[in-house]
């Protein structure tokens, strides 16, 4: 609560409802234009092109997964070469164990690459979207429950530097919001 | 991304060529209807037939536990395995269940990457089925090792004598492949569930469901700043699961193909196994979803179009499997290796299990050919019966591959015969009980169709075509 502009310290922000995905999309373009930063749209499904309307770039989760997958790949090679070649060579059916037995190590290397990538996706995702966080001021809003059903909602937070209690309310009406609800902390 | 276009040319991309496509959700259902219908399954009392199915399934599951206790306390000899048939029903059933477990991730991953939007109504249930089938599969090799309490020897840690696993062994590859597949499928399924759990959380009236759904929904808020990472995560998982799903049954087939046993030592095994797994998996999805669709009134979400598409996949993969059967025979003839030729001669003409071969061939290759006809794909009874032929036939395929081959190897002096013991039969019935029981519990407690994904493929969910309804009517008129 650093940049609370006017009176109410306990105001979290506004939840505004729009009629259709299309209305919300165009409203989001206008909010981006107006230069708001602490805001989001909440929809029952990911709306196509909304990242563009909100001026958001590509998610960088893929970069984290590249690192995770590479770790898995290297770990698998280390595990197999270290244990099979130097620590305890298992000679079965007089098959050799040395650097050239690489093809026999492909399946496990492949699987561990995928496994490490998968866990990086899960934990990477939870990290970037900052979950789990079981409580949130938005859960106080009855209107917000529609986000998981059929509502197209926009939330502008009070801590946004551009947020002004009356002006933002007017602005939301202007860009086509129907119901607007104040959410307290 | 579709940019702004002139009003006249503003045609939805799916209808760009003037074709009115069959909608994925019938009767122009609004989003709230979808939420109510699917959450209703979880929130309302289950129909009587749910209990009629659940109670015997749970009893069969109890039987499974009983046979396992009997097995561990007595010894692996309670199974019918012998020399030379050391891999009896245990491995047949393992491969059978793993195969069934392929449809889920195929639907969620490969059909996602290929932009098959119809997958959204099917993927959740298919993924749940996958997880349950892999659990059923895991029981068999676990107990087949003989001393179940020594299963930890399979994990990549040195055992008590400081001996490490043999990473060149296909059996160890299998451990990695199956466990990776299970874990990735769990992650995929769970990430897909998070938004729907949030829906259930927001609708829950009483305290305990609210707490539990809320706990597992992790506080998901459906914000676009979450969705954009979520979509990337889903895409990445789909991209990784696509080679994974193809690799799992390939690795399972290596258990056979890298051995020197005639009848197993063939390079066609990996693609043949993968096609068979997809084939069997889709058949099981249809077997489960046709009754679910009827019972819970999901006809508008799981439409004839879905059933039609899945029947076509069954036809395609069944024909690939048929090609593999015939190619195996041809190569054994063309390869002119005496042991190979004899192995297949015994398999199809003079061996003790030829009946199983023809049973398999009929169920897997002949029966699905009826799907060339549209009336067959649109008649639910025909689809259901053929799907069950496939379930049956795919089990026989594994039976043909395993005991038939092992019972007749190089020297006639080693030849033997195998028939399952009562314990084995009861155990197999028990895994079916476990499968049904867990699937029924899934229907009871979790959304059976991925709501957030179905909402995303509705015509009104595309922000770029607000007047889709008018456009569609116009197209219809122009066409007629």
Residues A35 and A22 in one domain: yes
- Its domain, for residue A77, covers 61-128
Q: Do A54 and A137 sit in the same domain of this protein?
A: yes
pLDDT (average), residues B153-174: 86
Instruction: Indicate whether A65 and A108 sit together in one domain.
Output: yes
Closest residue in chain B to residue A136, using alpha carbons only: B219
A54 and A65 within one domain: no
**Is the CB of A104 less than 8 angstroms away from the CB of B223?**
no
CB contact under 8 A, B166 and A24: no
Cβ within 8 Å, pair A88-B229: no
Q: Nearest 5°: phi and psi at A18?
A: -115, 160
> Is residue A124 located within the same domain as residue A65?
yes
- Are A16 and A52 contained in the same domain? yes
Mean pLDDT within B6-19: 53
Stretch B226-230: mean pLDDT, rounded? 93
CB contact under 8 A, B168 and A104: yes
Strand A39-42 to strand A180-184: parallel, antiparallel, or no bridges (unpaired)?
A: unpaired
Domain end residue (candidates: A128, A150, A167): A128
> Is residue B8 pLDDT above 70, yes or no?
no
CB contact under 8 A, A44 and B1: no
- What pLDDT is attached to residue A40? 92
**Of A128, A151, A174, the domain-final residue:** A128
The shortest C-alpha distance from B168 to chain A (Å) reads 5
Residues B375-424 have pLDDT tens digits of 999 999 999 999 999 999 999 999 999 988 888 888 888 888 898 999 99
Co-location of A54 and A71 in the same domain: no
**A150 and A99: one domain?**
no
- Last residue of a domain, which of A94, A112, A128? A128
- Taking CB atoms and an 8 Å cutoff, what residues of chain B touch A42? 221-224
ipTM of the modeled complex: 0.91
My answer on whether A141 and A178 are in the same domain is yes
B32 to A150: CB separation less than 8 angstroms, yes or no: yes
Q: A45 and chain B: CB distance < 8 Å anywhere?
A: yes
Residue A80 in domain:
yes
Minimum CA–CA partner of A156 in chain B = B223
How sure is the predictor about B4, in pLDDT bands with cuts at 50, 70 and 90? very low
Query: Can you tell me which residue has the tokens 């959380």?
Result: B201
Arithmetic mean of pLDDT, A2-31? 79
Contact criterion met (CB < 8 Å) for A107 and B451: no
pLDDT, position B84: 87
Clarify whether residues A146 and A170 are in a common domain.
yes
Could you give the number of structural domains in chain A?
Answer: 2
pLDDT above 70 coverage of chain B, percent? 95
Taking only the tens place, the pLDDT of each residue in B268-298 is 999 999 999 999 999 999 999 999 999 999 9
| pLDDT at B451 > cutoff 80 | yes
The full DSSP string for A109-133 is: HHHHHHHHHHHHHHHHHHHHTT---
In a domain, A34, yes or no: yes
Answer yes or no: do A108 and A67 share one domain. yes
Question: What phi and psi, each to the nearest 5 degrees, are found at residue A180?
Answer: -125, 135
Please state, rounded to an integer, the average pLDDT across all residues of chain A. 88
| CB proximity under 8 Å: A 71-130 to B | 79-80, 83-84, 87-88, 90, 92, 95, 97, 101, 104-105, 107-108, 110-112, 114-115, 117-119, 121-122, 124-126, 128-129
Task: Say if A6 falls within a structural domain.
Answer: no
Q: What is the pLDDT of residues B233-268, one digit of tens each?
A: 999 999 999 999 999 999 999 999 998 888 898 899
Q: Exposure of B117 by Cβ count < 10 A (0-12 exposed, 13-18 middle, 19+ buried)?
A: middle
Residues A90 and A104 in one domain: yes
Peptide bond into B309 cis (omega under 30): no
Subunit contact A121:B191, Cβ cutoff 8 A: yes
Give residue B288's pLDDT: 94
């Amino acid at each position: 609560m650093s940049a609370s502009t006017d009176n109410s310290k306990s105001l979290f922000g506004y939840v505004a409802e729009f009629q259709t995905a299309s209305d919300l999309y165009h409203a989001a373009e206008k909010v981006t234009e107006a230069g708001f930063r602490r805001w989001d749209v909440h929809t029952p499904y990911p709306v196509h092109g909304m990242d563009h309307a909100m001026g958001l770039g590509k998610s960088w989760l893929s970069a984290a997964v590249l690192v995770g997958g590479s770790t898995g790949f290297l770990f698998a090679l280390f595990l197999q070469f270290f244990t099979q070649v130097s620590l305890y060579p298992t000679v079965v059916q007089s098959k050799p164990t040395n650097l050239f037995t690489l093809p026999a190590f492909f399946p496990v290397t492949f699987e561990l690459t995928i496994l490490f990538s998968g866990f990086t996706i899960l934990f990477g995702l939870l990290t970037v979207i900052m979950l789990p966080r079981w409580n949130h001021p938005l859960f106080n809003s009855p209107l917000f429950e529609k986000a998981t059903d059929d509502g197209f909602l926009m939330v502008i937070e009070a801590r946004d530097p551009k947020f002004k209690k009356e002006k933002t309310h007017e602005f939301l009406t202007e860009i086509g919001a129907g119901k607007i609800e104040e959410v307290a902390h | 991304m579709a940019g702004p276009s002139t009003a006249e040319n503003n045609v939805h991309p799916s209808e760009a060529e003037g074709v009115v496509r069959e909608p994925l959700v019938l009767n122009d259902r609004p989003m709230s209807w979808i939420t109510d219908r699917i959450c209703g399954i979880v929130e309302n009392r289950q129909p009587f037939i749910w209990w009629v199915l659940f109670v015997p399934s749970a009893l069969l599951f109890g039987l499974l536990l009983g046979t396992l206790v009997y097995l561990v306390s007595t010894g692996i000899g309670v199974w019918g395995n012998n020399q030379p048939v050391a891999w009896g029903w245990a491995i047949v059933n393992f491969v059978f269940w793993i195969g069934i477990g392929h449809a889920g991730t195929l639907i969620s991953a490969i059909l996602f990457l290929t932009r098959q939007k119809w997958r959204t109504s099917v993927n959740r249930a298919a993924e749940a089925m996958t997880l349950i089938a892999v659990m059923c599969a895991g029981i068999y090799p676990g107990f087949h090792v003989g001393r179940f309490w020594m299963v930890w020897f399979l994990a990549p840690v040195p055992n008590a004598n400081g001996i490490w696993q043999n990473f060149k062994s296909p059996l160890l590859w299998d451990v990695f492949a199956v466990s990776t597949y299970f874990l990735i499928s769990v992650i995929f399924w769970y990430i897909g569930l998070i938004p729907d759990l949030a829906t259930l959380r927001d609708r829950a009236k009483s305290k305990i469901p609210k707490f539990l759904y809320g706990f597992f929904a992790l506080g998901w808020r459906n914000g676009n700043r979450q969705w954009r990472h979520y979509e990337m995560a889903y895409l990445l998982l789909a991209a990784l699961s696509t080679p994974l799903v193809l690799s799992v049954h390939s690795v399972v087939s290596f258990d056979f193909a890298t051995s020197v046993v005639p009848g197993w030592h063939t390079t066609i095994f990996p693609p043949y196994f993968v096609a068979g797994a997809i084939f069997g998996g889709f058949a099981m999805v249809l077997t489960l979803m046709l009754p679910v669709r009827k019972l819970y009134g999901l006809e508008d979400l799981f439409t004839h179009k879905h059933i039609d598409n899945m029947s076509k996949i069954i036809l395609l993969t069944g024909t690939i499997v048929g090609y593999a059967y015939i190619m195996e025979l041809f190569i054994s003839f063309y390869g002119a290796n005496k042991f190979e030729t004899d192995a297949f001669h015994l398999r199809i003409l003079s061996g003790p299990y030829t009946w199983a071969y023809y049973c398999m061939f009929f169920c897997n290759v002949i029966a699905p050919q009826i799907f060339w006809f549209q009336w067959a794909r649109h008649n639910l009874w025909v689809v259901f019966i053929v799907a069950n032929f496939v379930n049956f036939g795919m089990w026989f395929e594994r039976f043909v591959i395993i005991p038939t081959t092992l019972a007749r190897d190089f020297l006639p002096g080693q030849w033997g015969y195998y028939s399952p013991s009562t314990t084995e039969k009861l155990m197999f019935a028990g895994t079916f009980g476990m499968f049904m029981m867990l699937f029924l519990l899934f229907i009871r407690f979790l959304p059976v169709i991925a709501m957030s994904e179905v909402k995303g493929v509705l015509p009104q969910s595309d922000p770029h075509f607000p007047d889709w309804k008018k456009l569609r009517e116009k197209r219809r008129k122009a066409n007629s």
